[in-house]
Amino acid sequence: MPDDESHKAEMEALKAEQRRKITEARDPGRGLVLVHTGDGKGKSSSAFGVIIRALGWGHSVGVVQFIKGDWPTGEKQFFDKLGGQVTWRTMGEGFTWDTQNLARDTKTAEAALAAAAEMLASGAHDLVVLDEINIALQFGFLTVPAVLAALEGRAQRTSVILTGRNAKPEIMEMADLVTEMREVKHPFQAGIKAQRGIDF
């Protein structure tokens, strides 16, 4: 363990550095674009955590789910009970390996993007989450220009979170924040079942 004096000196230096960064930081004057990607867990759940933050400040939130179908999840049940603070649209029909129909998946994703674009442009929300939209892009159900247009058409106040693995480079390029959730160790890989209240 470091001694008191050296600890204090180290913390003073850290504090000065933090203060400098905070002083220099500016308000962007517009909502941010955030991307949660990578092969690890936490992309969607982290977006739900940010929703909680936003709601705590009385913000208005919209969610469009691009892939997940209408089966029961903890998050859906929780936000349903909350009532009108969150506008939640489950537009997906399930995993693409279940539908196995490219034309149908494309149509579904395009309808979800239309709903998302409307939500983004409306100015009604401080935060809009486009859950698993990166998957729809990865499988070619949506085009990058169509998604970029929806993002650029958002109201000034509206921040957006895009989730899903394999985010497109053009999306990451225009984003303010990109986090890669990297899988270091996963229970499913160790043969442990998905757990209610943890995984869904």
Distance of CA 40 to the CA centre of its chain: 14
Task: Calculate the alpha carbon distances from 181 to 18, 54, 132, 156, 166 in Å.
Answer: 25, 21, 14, 28, 11
159 CB-contact burial (10 Å; exposed 0-12 / middle 13-18 / buried 19+): buried
Would you count residue 69 as binding its own copies (CB under 8 A)? no
Which residue, 106 or 122, is less far from its own copies as judged by CB? 106
Segment interacting with its own copies (CB under 8 A) among 17-25, 63-71, 108-116, 147-155: 17-25
Among 65, 88, 146, 179, binds its own copies (CB under 8 A): 179
- Which region among 100-108, 111-119, 130-138, 144-152 touches its own copies (by CB under 8 A)? 100-108
- CB hemisphere CA count around 55 (13 angstroms): 16
Q: 16 is written with which tokens?
A: 């000065």
103 binds its own copies (CB under 8 A): yes
User: Binder to its own copies among 20, 153, 170, 186 (CB under 8 A)?
Assistant: 186
For its own copies, which stretch binds (CB under 8 A), given 55-63, 109-117, 130-138, 146-154? 55-63
Residues of this chain, 140-169, that bind its own copies according to CB under 8 A: 140, 159
SS3 assignment, position 161: strand
